[in-house]
Every structure is written in C-alpha cells, then in structure tokens.
C-alpha cells in the first residue's frame, strides 16, 4: 500500500518528466532552425577571424600587440557581443513564432500545463546560450593559444655560446603559460593557473548578461504576437545597448542599469588579468547583479502573462 506522501510526489515527477521531454523537443527545434546554427557559425567566424588578425599584429611590426591571453579574451568577447544580439532575437522568436504560426492551441491541447510549456522554452534558451558562450570561449582559446608570446609561457634556453635566449612554442601548439616580464623571463608576474581561473570565471559571469538579453527578447516575444515585430524590437533594443557603450554620457548615467552592463567590465577585467593584473571584481559583480534582476523580472512576467493569456483561435 503506497503512502500518501508518495502519491503526492507522483504528479510532480510526471510534470518534471513532461518538462524534460518538452525541453528536448525545443532543443531539437532550435538545432533544426536556421537562426541558431547561423549564430554558432557567426560566432566561430568572428572569433577565429579576430584571433588571426590579432595574431598577425602580434607577429608583425604593428604598434598593437596581443599576448595569447589577450587574443583569447578579445576575440571571444567581441564575437559574444554580436551573439548576444542574435540570441535576443532567438528569445523573441521562441514565443512569438508559436503565436504567429497558431500552434499554441495544438500544443496546449496535449496533456501538458502552460507552465511546463513555457518553462521548457526558457530552459532550451538557457542551454542554447551556454552552448554559444562555450563555443566562443573554446574557439578563442585555440586561436589565442597559437601565439608564441615571450610574456606568456616559453622558456629560457642557454645556447652553445653561453648566451640565454627565449624559446617559445612553435607550430600550432597552445602556448599558454605563466605571465612573465619579457626583459626578465625568470620573473613571474602571474601564474598560468591564476590567469586561467580569472578568465574562466569571467566567461562564467558573461553567461549572466547573455541570459539577461535573451530574457528581454523572451518577454517581448511573450507580449507581442507578431513574430517580426517582437524580433525587430528585441534586436533594436540590444543593438542600442551595445552602441551605447561608445557614448560616455550613456555609460555614466544609464549604462550601469542596462542588462549588458557587465560585458565591457568583465572583458576589461579579463584582458588585464591576461597581462598579470590581479582581478578587481567589484564593478563587474555589481553589473552582474543588475543582469540577474533583469532575468528574474523578465522571466516572471513572461510566465505570468503566458499562463494567463487567451490563446483561443
């Protein structure tokens, strides 16, 4: 004879199972849709392209010099800025396309709850965002690590004439190492572990503003039935915030309240960490908490609006 507690847990388990299956179906739809593969392709092209350009500067006679850590950060964060704009459109399309195609009634006619349906949509977007950030970080790591830079890694070799020379990695081997003083190769400014931990922590925190931008698009897609209008508004808002980073007046007065405010702060912090500077997380973490508020508010409103809306055709 089953206990009352076990009987009460069965609906919860069933609901979680349905949500997991719906999330998997949404992920399959995302992979099959043209926009998500395009986002991954654009991120890869931009990350690799920027890395190769920076590598050329590092090896040539240009005034701009990039270390391998610098290339990893710069190529990934600039590509991620474009990806955030496209992911915002993906978030808007996830909900608005269902209303525009009039498939909501078909989906909700099945034995699923509205909360399960919208939760599956949100979870699939979270997974998609994590994949995009991970792909950009991995691509930037591979390209950036091919730069033989005397300030990061390598070793001092004493030749047959008794003169010490710096020998860096050759070919396409990854050259990440301790950050040292080029004039005094034995002086370690920051160890490889310290720099890598800081940069990886920065990448993890970059997921938060990415999800904040996606949640804004998700909210617009929930409020607006027109797929084109929802995507247009979400992309316009995202592009405006990115362009606002180049205007000091916007940054000083409104930038701290935007959902993507941590992105330039984290990028600068990670870039400086690649040169051996110790991380100061204060302003970046404050911006991350602003992004958390955006996520909480947008997701809560989206869930309430969708669960209460009339989808009768």
Position 293 scores a pLDDT of 94
- DSSP secondary structure, the chain, as one string: ---HHHHHHHHHHHHHHHHHHHHHHHHHHHHHSSHHHHHHHHHHHHHHHHHHHHHHHHHSS-S----HHHHHHHHHHHHHHHHHHHHHHHHHHHHHHHHHTT-HHHHHTSS--HHHHHHHHHHHHHHHHHHHHHHHHHHHHHHHTT---TTBS-EEEE-TTS-EEEE---TT------EEETTEEEEEEE-HHHHHHHHHHHHHHHHHHHHHHHHHHHHHHHH-S-HHHHHHHHHHHHHHHHHHTT-HHHHHHTGGGSTTTHHHHHHHHHHHHTTTPPP--HHHHHHHHHHHHHHHHHHHHHHHHHHHS----
Position 60 scores a pLDDT of 53
Position 142 scores a pLDDT of 85
Residue with tokens 């269902």: 98
Position 64 scores a pLDDT of 55
Task: Decide: pTM greater than 0.75.
Answer: yes
Position 169 scores a pLDDT of 47
Position 240 scores a pLDDT of 83
> What tens-digit pLDDT sequence spans the chain (313 residues)?
445 554 445 667 777 788 888 888 888 888 887 888 899 999 999 888 888 777 766 655 555 566 788 888 888 888 888 899 999 999 888 888 776 556 666 666 666 778 888 898 999 999 999 999 999 999 888 887 776 555 544 555 555 555 555 455 444 446 677 777 767 767 788 888 888 899 999 999 999 999 999 999 999 988 887 878 888 888 888 888 877 777 776 667 777 788 888 888 899 899 888 888 888 888 889 989 999 999 999 999 999 988 887 655 4
- Residue 196's alpha-carbon distances to 66, 141, 206, 297, 312, in angstroms, are 16, 10, 15, 33, 53
Rg (CA), the chain: 24
| Nearest-angstrom CA–CA distance, 22 and 94 | 13
Position 226 scores a pLDDT of 81
């Amino acid at each position: 004879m089953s206990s009352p507690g076990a009987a009460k847990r069965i609906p919860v388990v069933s609901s979680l199972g349905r949500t997991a299956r719906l999330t998997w179906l949404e992920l399959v739809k995302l992979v099959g849709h043209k926009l998500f593969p395009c986002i991954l392709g654009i991120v890869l092209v931009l990350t690799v392209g920027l890395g190769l350009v920076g590598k050329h500067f590092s090896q040539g006679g240009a005034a701009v010099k990039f270390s391998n850590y610098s290339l990893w950060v710069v190529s990934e964060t600039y590509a991620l800025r474009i990806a955030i704009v496209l992911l915002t459109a993906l978030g808007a399309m996830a909900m608005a396309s269902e209303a525009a195609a009039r498939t909501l009634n078909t989906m909700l006619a099945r034995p699923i709850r509205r909360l399960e349906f919208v939760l599956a949509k949100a979870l699939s977007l979270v997974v998609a965002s994590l994949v995009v950030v991970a792909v950009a970080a991995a691509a930037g790591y591979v390209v950036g690590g091919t730069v033989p830079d005397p300030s990061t890694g390598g070793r001092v070799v004493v030749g047959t004439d008794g003169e010490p020379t710096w020998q860096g990695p050759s070919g396409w081997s990854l050259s990440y190492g301790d950050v040292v003083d080029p004039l005094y190769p034995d002086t370690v400014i920051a160890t490889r572990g310290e720099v890598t931990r800081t940069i990886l922590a920065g990448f993890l925190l970059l997921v938060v503003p990415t999800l904040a931008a996606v949640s804004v698009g998700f909210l617009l897609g929930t409020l607006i039935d027109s797929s084109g209008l929802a995507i247009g508004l979400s992309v316009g808002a995202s592009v405006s915030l990115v362009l606002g980073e180049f205007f000091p007046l916007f940054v000083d007065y409104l930038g701290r309240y935007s959902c993507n405010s941590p992105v330039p702060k984290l990028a600068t912090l990670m870039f400086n960490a690649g040169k051996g500077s110790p991380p100061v997380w204060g302003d970046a973490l404050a911006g991350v908490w602003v992004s958390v508020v955006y996520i909480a508010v947008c997701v809560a409103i989206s869930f309430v609006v969708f669960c209460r809306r009339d989808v009768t055709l």
